[in-house]
Structure 1
Amino acid sequence: MSGSLLSRHRVFVKSLVSQVVRRSLKTTASLNMPAQVGDSIPSVDLYEDLPTNKVNLAELSAGKKIIIFAVPGAFTPGCSKTHLPGYVQKADQLKSQGVNEIVCVSVNDPFVMSAWAKDQNTSGKVRLLADPAAAFTKALDLTVDIAPLGGVRSKRYSMVVENGKITSLQVEPDGTGLSCSLADAIKL
Protein backbone atom coordinates (compact mmCIF):
# COMPACT_ATOMS: atom_id res chain seq x y z
CA MET A 1 0.00 0.00 0.00
CA SER A 2 1.21 3.46 -0.78
CA GLY A 3 1.74 5.88 2.10
CA SER A 4 -1.29 8.04 1.27
CA LEU A 5 -3.59 5.04 0.76
CA LEU A 6 -2.43 3.52 4.05
CA SER A 7 -2.98 6.85 5.80
CA ARG A 8 -6.55 7.12 4.40
CA HIS A 9 -7.23 3.52 5.43
CA ARG A 10 -6.11 4.26 9.03
CA VAL A 11 -8.34 7.37 9.17
CA PHE A 12 -11.28 5.32 7.87
CA VAL A 13 -10.73 2.55 10.45
CA LYS A 14 -10.41 5.10 13.29
CA SER A 15 -13.62 6.79 12.15
CA LEU A 16 -15.45 3.47 11.97
CA VAL A 17 -14.28 2.41 15.45
CA SER A 18 -15.27 5.83 16.82
CA GLN A 19 -18.77 5.50 15.34
CA VAL A 20 -19.23 2.02 16.81
CA VAL A 21 -18.14 3.23 20.25
CA ARG A 22 -20.44 6.30 20.11
CA ARG A 23 -23.40 4.22 18.96
CA SER A 24 -22.90 1.61 21.67
CA LEU A 25 -22.90 4.34 24.30
CA LYS A 26 -26.14 5.90 23.01
CA THR A 27 -28.23 2.78 22.52
CA THR A 28 -30.08 0.21 24.57
CA ALA A 29 -28.45 -2.69 26.36
CA SER A 30 -29.02 -4.88 23.31
CA LEU A 31 -27.06 -2.32 21.25
CA ASN A 32 -29.96 -1.58 18.92
CA MET A 33 -29.76 1.47 16.74
CA PRO A 34 -32.45 4.09 17.21
CA ALA A 35 -35.23 3.78 14.64
CA GLN A 36 -34.33 5.14 11.21
CA VAL A 37 -36.07 5.89 7.95
CA GLY A 38 -36.44 2.61 6.07
CA ASP A 39 -36.85 0.47 9.20
CA SER A 40 -39.93 -1.70 9.70
CA ILE A 41 -42.22 -0.62 12.50
CA PRO A 42 -41.87 -3.06 15.44
CA SER A 43 -44.62 -5.62 15.91
CA VAL A 44 -45.54 -4.75 19.49
CA ASP A 45 -49.00 -4.60 21.07
CA LEU A 46 -50.15 -1.28 22.48
CA TYR A 47 -53.45 -0.65 24.24
CA GLU A 48 -56.44 1.56 23.43
CA ASP A 49 -58.83 2.48 26.28
CA LEU A 50 -58.52 -0.87 28.12
CA PRO A 51 -55.83 -3.51 28.73
CA THR A 52 -57.93 -5.92 26.64
CA ASN A 53 -57.98 -3.72 23.49
CA LYS A 54 -54.67 -4.52 21.79
CA VAL A 55 -53.47 -2.54 18.79
CA ASN A 56 -50.39 -3.67 16.89
CA LEU A 57 -48.96 -0.76 14.86
CA ALA A 58 -47.19 -3.10 12.40
CA GLU A 59 -50.57 -4.63 11.60
CA LEU A 60 -52.40 -1.28 11.67
CA SER A 61 -49.97 0.22 9.15
CA ALA A 62 -50.17 -2.69 6.68
CA GLY A 63 -51.31 -1.20 3.38
CA LYS A 64 -51.82 2.22 4.99
CA LYS A 65 -50.08 5.51 5.60
CA ILE A 66 -50.13 6.47 9.27
CA ILE A 67 -48.60 9.15 11.44
CA ILE A 68 -47.25 8.10 14.81
CA PHE A 69 -46.14 10.70 17.28
CA ALA A 70 -44.98 10.14 20.82
CA VAL A 71 -45.11 12.26 23.92
CA PRO A 72 -43.31 11.88 27.26
CA GLY A 73 -46.57 11.79 29.22
CA ALA A 74 -50.32 12.25 29.08
CA PHE A 75 -51.67 15.39 30.77
CA THR A 76 -48.22 17.01 30.86
CA PRO A 77 -48.20 20.72 29.91
CA GLY A 78 -46.40 20.62 26.54
CA CYS A 79 -48.24 17.49 25.48
CA SER A 80 -51.69 18.76 26.47
CA LYS A 81 -51.36 22.39 25.39
CA THR A 82 -49.35 22.08 22.19
CA HIS A 83 -48.35 18.67 20.87
CA LEU A 84 -51.60 16.65 20.90
CA PRO A 85 -53.89 19.63 20.15
CA GLY A 86 -51.85 20.43 17.03
CA TYR A 87 -52.52 16.99 15.59
CA VAL A 88 -56.20 17.12 16.58
CA GLN A 89 -56.58 20.49 14.83
CA LYS A 90 -54.74 19.33 11.68
CA ALA A 91 -56.25 15.82 11.54
CA ASP A 92 -58.72 16.55 8.71
CA GLN A 93 -56.05 18.32 6.66
CA LEU A 94 -53.53 15.48 7.16
CA LYS A 95 -56.13 12.85 6.31
CA SER A 96 -57.04 14.75 3.14
CA GLN A 97 -53.37 14.33 2.15
CA GLY A 98 -53.60 10.53 2.26
CA VAL A 99 -52.99 9.77 5.94
CA ASN A 100 -55.25 6.91 7.08
CA GLU A 101 -54.62 7.12 10.84
CA ILE A 102 -52.96 9.45 13.32
CA VAL A 103 -51.70 7.75 16.48
CA CYS A 104 -50.28 9.23 19.67
CA VAL A 105 -48.17 6.91 21.82
CA SER A 106 -47.15 7.46 25.42
CA VAL A 107 -45.63 5.35 28.18
CA ASN A 108 -48.78 5.42 30.30
CA ASP A 109 -51.48 2.92 31.18
CA PRO A 110 -54.53 2.59 28.89
CA PHE A 111 -56.88 4.15 31.46
CA VAL A 112 -54.83 7.35 31.62
CA MET A 113 -54.64 7.51 27.81
CA SER A 114 -58.40 6.97 27.54
CA ALA A 115 -59.09 9.78 30.03
CA TRP A 116 -56.67 12.06 28.16
CA ALA A 117 -58.39 11.27 24.84
CA LYS A 118 -61.75 12.33 26.31
CA ASP A 119 -60.22 15.45 27.88
CA GLN A 120 -58.68 16.47 24.52
CA ASN A 121 -61.67 15.51 22.29
CA THR A 122 -59.59 13.27 20.02
CA SER A 123 -62.42 10.97 18.89
CA GLY A 124 -62.29 10.32 15.15
CA LYS A 125 -59.12 12.39 14.80
CA VAL A 126 -56.22 10.93 16.80
CA ARG A 127 -56.02 7.53 18.45
CA LEU A 128 -54.24 7.51 21.82
CA LEU A 129 -52.37 4.28 22.52
CA ALA A 130 -50.73 3.25 25.76
CA ASP A 131 -47.28 1.67 25.90
CA PRO A 132 -47.39 0.78 29.62
CA ALA A 133 -44.10 -1.16 29.82
CA ALA A 134 -42.40 0.99 27.14
CA ALA A 135 -42.07 -2.13 24.96
CA PHE A 136 -42.78 -0.28 21.69
CA THR A 137 -40.61 2.67 22.73
CA LYS A 138 -37.72 0.36 23.67
CA ALA A 139 -38.08 -1.55 20.38
CA LEU A 140 -37.59 1.79 18.57
CA ASP A 141 -34.73 2.66 20.96
CA LEU A 142 -36.34 6.06 21.62
CA THR A 143 -36.49 6.00 25.41
CA VAL A 144 -35.54 8.81 27.73
CA ASP A 145 -35.29 8.69 31.53
CA ILE A 146 -37.33 11.49 33.07
CA ALA A 147 -37.29 10.94 36.83
CA PRO A 148 -40.07 13.46 37.67
CA LEU A 149 -42.43 11.59 35.28
CA GLY A 150 -41.64 8.21 36.77
CA GLY A 151 -38.50 7.14 34.91
CA VAL A 152 -38.42 5.60 31.44
CA ARG A 153 -40.57 7.53 28.97
CA SER A 154 -40.65 8.08 25.24
CA LYS A 155 -38.62 10.73 23.53
CA ARG A 156 -40.83 13.18 21.71
CA TYR A 157 -40.92 12.31 17.99
CA SER A 158 -43.12 12.07 14.93
CA MET A 159 -42.94 9.59 12.10
CA VAL A 160 -44.77 8.64 8.96
CA VAL A 161 -45.18 4.92 8.37
CA GLU A 162 -46.22 3.58 4.99
CA ASN A 163 -47.10 -0.09 4.68
CA GLY A 164 -45.09 -0.93 7.80
CA LYS A 165 -41.94 1.06 6.89
CA ILE A 166 -40.80 4.33 8.45
CA THR A 167 -40.64 6.90 5.63
CA SER A 168 -40.11 10.02 7.76
CA LEU A 169 -38.80 10.42 11.30
CA GLN A 170 -38.24 13.56 13.37
CA VAL A 171 -36.88 13.11 16.91
CA GLU A 172 -36.62 16.19 19.09
CA PRO A 173 -32.91 16.99 19.54
CA ASP A 174 -33.19 16.98 23.34
CA GLY A 175 -35.82 14.21 23.37
CA THR A 176 -38.51 16.36 24.96
CA GLY A 177 -38.66 19.75 23.18
CA LEU A 178 -41.42 20.99 20.90
CA SER A 179 -40.07 21.80 17.46
CA CYS A 180 -39.56 19.19 14.73
CA SER A 181 -42.21 16.70 15.95
CA LEU A 182 -45.19 19.09 15.87
CA ALA A 183 -48.09 18.64 13.44
CA ASP A 184 -46.98 21.71 11.47
CA ALA A 185 -43.56 20.11 10.90
CA ILE A 186 -44.70 16.62 9.82
CA LYS A 187 -43.00 15.50 6.60
CA LEU A 188 -45.45 13.52 4.52
Structure 2
Amino acid sequence: MVENRKAQAPCVGDAASGSNSKIMPCPDTRPPQFKPLTCDTDDEKNFPFVEVLGPDKTAKRFALGTRASFAVERFNKKLVDAVRPVVCVQAYKEGEDPVEFGPDAPLISKCTWDLRVVQEAPFEPIGVGDKIPNGELSYLDDDGKLQAHCIHDLVREKRVVIFGIPGAFTPTCSVKHVPGFLQRAEEIMDRGVKEIICVTVNDPFVVKEWEKTFPNNKHIKFLCDGSATWTKKIGLELDLIDRGMGIRSRRYCLLVDDTVVKIANIEEAGGLEVSTADRIMQDLETSKGS
Protein backbone atom coordinates (compact mmCIF):
# COMPACT_ATOMS: atom_id res chain seq x y z
CA MET A 1 0.00 0.00 0.00
CA VAL A 2 1.05 3.56 -0.53
CA GLU A 3 1.40 5.81 2.49
CA ASN A 4 -0.08 9.30 2.06
CA ARG A 5 1.38 11.64 4.61
CA LYS A 6 0.86 15.41 4.63
CA ALA A 7 4.01 17.52 4.65
CA GLN A 8 5.08 18.63 8.09
CA ALA A 9 5.52 22.40 7.37
CA PRO A 10 6.53 24.60 10.30
CA CYS A 11 3.96 26.91 11.88
CA VAL A 12 4.38 30.56 10.79
CA GLY A 13 4.16 33.36 13.32
CA ASP A 14 4.18 33.40 17.09
CA ALA A 15 1.66 35.38 19.09
CA ALA A 16 3.98 35.61 22.08
CA SER A 17 6.84 37.13 20.07
CA GLY A 18 4.86 40.12 18.86
CA SER A 19 5.63 39.28 15.24
CA ASN A 20 3.42 40.93 12.62
CA SER A 21 3.42 37.71 10.61
CA LYS A 22 0.06 36.14 10.12
CA ILE A 23 -0.44 33.15 12.39
CA MET A 24 -0.98 30.02 10.28
CA PRO A 25 -2.40 26.80 11.71
CA CYS A 26 -0.11 23.78 12.08
CA PRO A 27 -0.71 21.00 9.56
CA ASP A 28 -2.90 18.04 10.38
CA THR A 29 -0.79 15.50 12.33
CA ARG A 30 -3.20 12.60 12.31
CA PRO A 31 -1.71 9.13 11.58
CA PRO A 32 -1.19 8.41 7.87
CA GLN A 33 -4.03 6.79 5.98
CA PHE A 34 -3.49 3.82 3.69
CA LYS A 35 -5.23 2.97 0.45
CA PRO A 36 -4.76 0.30 -2.22
CA LEU A 37 -2.33 1.07 -5.04
CA THR A 38 -4.32 0.90 -8.27
CA CYS A 39 -3.09 -0.02 -11.73
CA ASP A 40 -3.91 3.48 -12.97
CA THR A 41 -1.78 5.47 -10.54
CA ASP A 42 0.17 7.78 -12.86
CA ASP A 43 2.96 8.60 -10.45
CA GLU A 44 3.90 4.90 -10.07
CA LYS A 45 4.35 4.10 -13.77
CA ASN A 46 8.09 4.74 -13.76
CA PHE A 47 8.80 2.27 -10.95
CA PRO A 48 9.01 -1.46 -11.83
CA PHE A 49 7.51 -2.82 -8.64
CA VAL A 50 4.21 -4.05 -7.28
CA GLU A 51 2.67 -3.35 -3.91
CA VAL A 52 1.76 -6.54 -2.05
CA LEU A 53 -0.54 -6.86 0.95
CA GLY A 54 0.54 -9.89 2.95
CA PRO A 55 -1.28 -12.37 5.20
CA ASP A 56 -0.37 -10.24 8.23
CA LYS A 57 -1.90 -7.18 6.49
CA THR A 58 1.35 -5.26 6.13
CA ALA A 59 2.53 -4.01 2.74
CA LYS A 60 5.82 -4.51 0.91
CA ARG A 61 7.13 -3.76 -2.58
CA PHE A 62 8.44 -6.49 -4.89
CA ALA A 63 10.01 -6.40 -8.34
CA LEU A 64 7.72 -7.04 -11.27
CA GLY A 65 7.70 -10.76 -12.06
CA THR A 66 8.27 -11.94 -8.48
CA ARG A 67 6.47 -15.21 -7.76
CA ALA A 68 3.62 -14.93 -5.28
CA SER A 69 4.95 -17.83 -3.19
CA PHE A 70 8.30 -16.03 -2.81
CA ALA A 71 6.48 -12.92 -1.64
CA VAL A 72 4.61 -14.88 1.00
CA GLU A 73 7.85 -16.31 2.36
CA ARG A 74 9.34 -12.85 2.67
CA PHE A 75 6.22 -11.53 4.33
CA ASN A 76 5.85 -14.09 7.03
CA LYS A 77 8.45 -16.87 7.09
CA LYS A 78 7.13 -18.02 10.45
CA LEU A 79 3.68 -18.56 8.96
CA VAL A 80 5.06 -20.53 6.02
CA ASP A 81 7.14 -22.74 8.32
CA ALA A 82 4.17 -23.28 10.59
CA VAL A 83 1.47 -24.41 8.22
CA ARG A 84 2.99 -24.85 4.74
CA PRO A 85 0.08 -22.97 3.19
CA VAL A 86 -1.46 -23.22 -0.22
CA VAL A 87 -1.52 -19.57 -1.21
CA CYS A 88 -4.26 -17.84 -3.14
CA VAL A 89 -3.24 -14.49 -4.58
CA GLN A 90 -5.56 -11.76 -5.76
CA ALA A 91 -4.87 -8.76 -7.98
CA TYR A 92 -7.45 -6.05 -7.62
CA LYS A 93 -8.36 -2.49 -8.53
CA GLU A 94 -10.64 -0.33 -6.49
CA GLY A 95 -14.24 -0.82 -7.53
CA GLU A 96 -13.60 -4.09 -9.37
CA ASP A 97 -13.81 -7.74 -8.37
CA PRO A 98 -10.42 -9.35 -7.60
CA VAL A 99 -8.83 -11.82 -10.00
CA GLU A 100 -7.38 -14.93 -8.33
CA PHE A 101 -4.15 -16.72 -9.21
CA GLY A 102 -2.17 -19.66 -7.88
CA PRO A 103 0.96 -19.46 -5.68
CA ASP A 104 3.37 -19.47 -8.64
CA ALA A 105 1.71 -16.55 -10.39
CA PRO A 106 4.19 -13.80 -11.36
CA LEU A 107 3.45 -10.40 -9.91
CA ILE A 108 3.44 -8.60 -13.26
CA SER A 109 0.71 -6.02 -12.82
CA LYS A 110 0.88 -2.72 -10.98
CA CYS A 111 -2.34 -3.60 -9.25
CA THR A 112 -2.37 -4.25 -5.52
CA TRP A 113 -1.81 -7.93 -4.75
CA ASP A 114 -3.42 -9.57 -1.75
CA LEU A 115 -1.86 -12.83 -0.49
CA ARG A 116 -4.19 -15.12 1.42
CA VAL A 117 -3.73 -18.53 3.00
CA VAL A 118 -6.70 -20.57 1.82
CA GLN A 119 -5.87 -24.07 3.10
CA GLU A 120 -3.17 -26.16 4.67
CA ALA A 121 -1.37 -28.49 2.31
CA PRO A 122 -0.78 -31.95 3.81
CA PHE A 123 2.78 -32.67 4.82
CA GLU A 124 4.63 -35.80 3.80
CA PRO A 125 5.56 -38.03 6.76
CA ILE A 126 8.96 -37.08 8.08
CA GLY A 127 11.81 -39.39 7.17
CA VAL A 128 15.50 -40.08 7.56
CA GLY A 129 17.60 -37.09 6.49
CA ASP A 130 14.83 -34.55 7.03
CA LYS A 131 15.35 -31.61 9.32
CA ILE A 132 12.91 -31.62 12.19
CA PRO A 133 10.50 -28.66 11.88
CA ASN A 134 10.48 -26.09 14.61
CA GLY A 135 7.51 -25.34 16.82
CA GLU A 136 6.44 -25.31 20.44
CA LEU A 137 5.32 -28.08 22.78
CA SER A 138 3.69 -27.21 26.08
CA TYR A 139 3.66 -28.63 29.60
CA LEU A 140 2.76 -27.73 33.18
CA ASP A 141 5.69 -27.15 35.51
CA ASP A 142 5.84 -28.30 39.12
CA ASP A 143 4.00 -25.15 40.19
CA GLY A 144 1.15 -25.81 37.77
CA LYS A 145 2.17 -22.99 35.44
CA LEU A 146 1.88 -23.41 31.68
CA GLN A 147 5.27 -23.49 29.96
CA ALA A 148 6.51 -24.26 26.46
CA HIS A 149 9.64 -25.70 24.87
CA CYS A 150 10.97 -24.62 21.49
CA ILE A 151 11.58 -27.88 19.64
CA HIS A 152 14.82 -26.78 18.02
CA ASP A 153 16.15 -25.86 21.45
CA LEU A 154 15.44 -29.40 22.58
CA VAL A 155 17.22 -31.12 19.69
CA ARG A 156 20.00 -28.73 18.69
CA GLU A 157 23.56 -30.12 18.98
CA LYS A 158 22.50 -33.35 20.70
CA ARG A 159 20.84 -36.72 20.12
CA VAL A 160 17.22 -36.97 21.18
CA VAL A 161 14.61 -39.72 20.95
CA ILE A 162 11.09 -38.46 20.31
CA PHE A 163 8.21 -40.90 20.39
CA GLY A 164 4.62 -39.99 19.65
CA ILE A 165 1.37 -41.48 20.85
CA PRO A 166 -2.31 -40.92 19.98
CA GLY A 167 -3.28 -39.73 23.44
CA ALA A 168 -2.89 -39.89 27.20
CA PHE A 169 -4.70 -42.63 29.14
CA THR A 170 -5.30 -44.69 25.98
CA PRO A 171 -4.76 -48.39 26.78
CA THR A 172 -1.88 -49.29 24.45
CA CYS A 173 0.01 -46.09 25.24
CA SER A 174 -0.41 -46.44 28.99
CA VAL A 175 0.14 -50.19 29.32
CA LYS A 176 2.76 -50.91 26.65
CA HIS A 177 4.26 -47.94 24.77
CA VAL A 178 5.33 -45.64 27.60
CA PRO A 179 6.25 -48.46 30.05
CA GLY A 180 8.59 -49.87 27.42
CA PHE A 181 10.52 -46.61 27.31
CA LEU A 182 10.50 -46.38 31.10
CA GLN A 183 12.13 -49.79 31.32
CA ARG A 184 14.84 -49.12 28.73
CA ALA A 185 15.41 -45.38 29.23
CA GLU A 186 18.81 -45.73 30.86
CA GLU A 187 20.04 -48.14 28.19
CA ILE A 188 18.93 -45.74 25.48
CA MET A 189 20.67 -42.82 27.15
CA ASP A 190 23.84 -44.89 27.53
CA ARG A 191 23.97 -44.84 23.70
CA GLY A 192 24.51 -41.08 23.68
CA VAL A 193 20.88 -39.96 23.74
CA LYS A 194 20.48 -36.84 25.90
CA GLU A 195 16.67 -36.61 26.01
CA ILE A 196 13.69 -38.94 25.63
CA ILE A 197 10.54 -37.03 24.77
CA CYS A 198 6.99 -38.31 24.61
CA VAL A 199 4.70 -36.13 22.47
CA THR A 200 0.96 -36.51 22.82
CA VAL A 201 -1.99 -34.66 21.31
CA ASN A 202 -3.62 -33.62 24.57
CA ASP A 203 -3.85 -30.49 26.67
CA PRO A 204 -1.21 -30.02 29.40
CA PHE A 205 -3.68 -30.51 32.25
CA VAL A 206 -4.61 -34.01 31.08
CA VAL A 207 -0.99 -34.93 30.41
CA LYS A 208 0.11 -33.71 33.84
CA GLU A 209 -2.36 -36.08 35.48
CA TRP A 210 -1.36 -38.90 33.16
CA GLU A 211 2.31 -38.36 33.96
CA LYS A 212 1.51 -38.94 37.65
CA THR A 213 0.54 -42.53 36.80
CA PHE A 214 4.23 -43.19 36.11
CA PRO A 215 5.74 -42.32 39.53
CA ASN A 216 9.06 -44.04 38.78
CA ASN A 217 9.74 -41.94 35.68
CA LYS A 218 13.13 -40.23 35.78
CA HIS A 219 14.07 -39.71 32.15
CA ILE A 220 11.00 -39.20 29.94
CA LYS A 221 9.84 -35.65 29.26
CA PHE A 222 6.09 -35.52 28.55
CA LEU A 223 5.17 -32.69 26.18
CA CYS A 224 1.85 -31.64 24.65
CA ASP A 225 0.83 -30.80 21.11
CA GLY A 226 -2.75 -30.01 22.05
CA SER A 227 -3.99 -28.93 18.61
CA ALA A 228 -1.74 -31.34 16.67
CA THR A 229 -0.02 -28.35 15.06
CA TRP A 230 3.48 -29.80 15.22
CA THR A 231 2.24 -33.32 14.57
CA LYS A 232 0.78 -32.09 11.27
CA LYS A 233 4.09 -30.45 10.40
CA ILE A 234 5.85 -33.81 10.59
CA GLY A 235 3.03 -35.41 8.59
CA LEU A 236 2.02 -37.88 11.30
CA GLU A 237 -1.48 -36.76 12.27
CA LEU A 238 -4.15 -39.42 12.70
CA ASP A 239 -7.80 -38.70 11.93
CA LEU A 240 -9.94 -40.22 14.69
CA ILE A 241 -12.89 -37.89 14.25
CA ASP A 242 -15.22 -40.78 13.49
CA ARG A 243 -14.34 -42.25 16.88
CA GLY A 244 -15.03 -38.99 18.67
CA MET A 245 -11.34 -38.35 19.41
CA GLY A 246 -10.60 -35.63 16.83
CA ILE A 247 -7.16 -35.34 15.23
CA ARG A 248 -4.50 -37.33 17.07
CA SER A 249 -1.03 -38.67 16.32
CA ARG A 250 0.25 -41.83 14.72
CA ARG A 251 2.63 -43.84 16.85
CA TYR A 252 6.24 -43.20 15.93
CA CYS A 253 9.75 -43.05 17.27
CA LEU A 254 12.41 -40.72 15.89
CA LEU A 255 16.09 -40.42 16.62
CA VAL A 256 17.08 -36.81 15.98
CA ASP A 257 20.72 -35.73 15.91
CA ASP A 258 21.28 -31.95 15.88
CA THR A 259 17.82 -31.33 14.28
CA VAL A 260 18.28 -34.03 11.58
CA VAL A 261 16.28 -37.27 11.65
CA LYS A 262 18.57 -40.33 11.73
CA ILE A 263 15.95 -42.99 12.47
CA ALA A 264 12.22 -42.80 11.67
CA ASN A 265 10.20 -45.75 12.96
CA ILE A 266 6.59 -45.00 12.07
CA GLU A 267 3.60 -47.28 12.57
CA GLU A 268 1.53 -47.82 9.44
CA ALA A 269 -1.58 -49.01 11.31
CA GLY A 270 -2.90 -48.90 14.83
CA GLY A 271 -0.51 -51.46 16.22
CA LEU A 272 2.66 -51.16 18.25
CA GLU A 273 5.55 -52.81 16.46
CA VAL A 274 8.25 -50.50 15.05
CA SER A 275 7.93 -47.49 17.39
CA THR A 276 8.82 -49.38 20.57
CA ALA A 277 11.71 -48.84 22.93
CA ASP A 278 12.98 -52.32 22.05
CA ARG A 279 13.15 -51.39 18.35
CA ILE A 280 14.96 -48.08 18.84
CA MET A 281 17.38 -49.85 21.21
CA GLN A 282 18.05 -52.46 18.54
CA ASP A 283 18.69 -49.72 15.96
CA LEU A 284 21.07 -47.92 18.30
CA GLU A 285 23.01 -51.10 19.01
CA THR A 286 23.47 -51.75 15.30
CA SER A 287 24.62 -48.15 14.80
CA LYS A 288 21.74 -47.45 12.43
CA GLY A 289 21.47 -43.96 13.85
CA SER A 290 25.15 -43.03 13.49
| Shared fold, TM over 0.5 | yes
TM-score w.r.t. length of structure 2? 0.53
Partner of 2:255: 160
Q: Retained in 1: the 8 A contact 2:182–2:217?
A: no
2:212 alignment partner, SS class: helix
Give the aligned residue type for 1:61: V
Superposition deviation, residue 29 in structure 1: 4.2
Partner of 1:169: 264
Distance 2:185 2:229 in 1: 27
Give the aligned residue type for 1:69: F
Give the aligned residue type for 2:186: D
Distance 1:139 1:111 in 2: 23
Partner of 1:139: 233
| Cα displacement string for residues 94-137 of structure 1 (whole angstroms, at most 9, x for unaligned residues) | 11111100000010001111111111126421011010010110
Pairs aligned (count): 160
Partner of 2:224: 130
Q: Retained in 1: the 8 A contact 2:177–2:272?
A: yes
| Cα displacement string for residues 125-174 of structure 1 (whole angstroms, at most 9, x for unaligned residues) | 10110100101101001111113352100001000000011110011111
From 25, 30, 37, the counterpart of 2:128: 37
2:253 alignment partner, SS class: strand
Distance 1:83 1:70 in 2: 9
| Cα displacement string for residues 59-109 of structure 1 (whole angstroms, at most 9, x for unaligned residues) | 111111000000001011000000000001111111111110000001000
From 102, 108, 120, the counterpart of 2:214: 120
Partner of 1:105: 199
Q: Retained in 1: the 8 A contact 2:196–2:219?
A: yes
1:159 alignment partner, SS class: strand
More helix as a share of residues: 1
Amino-acid identity (%):
37
Structure 2 stretches of 5 or more lacking a match?
1-118, 285-290
Partner of 1:181: 275
Partner of 2:31: none
Partner of 1:20: none
More strand as a share of residues: 2
Partner of 2:139: 48
Larger Rg over CA atoms: 2
Partner of 1:66: 160
Partner of 1:151: 246
Distance 1:149 1:135 in 2: 19
Partner of 1:13: none
Partner of 1:19: none
Q: Retained in 2: the 8 A contact 1:38–1:167?
A: yes
1:39 alignment partner, SS class: coil
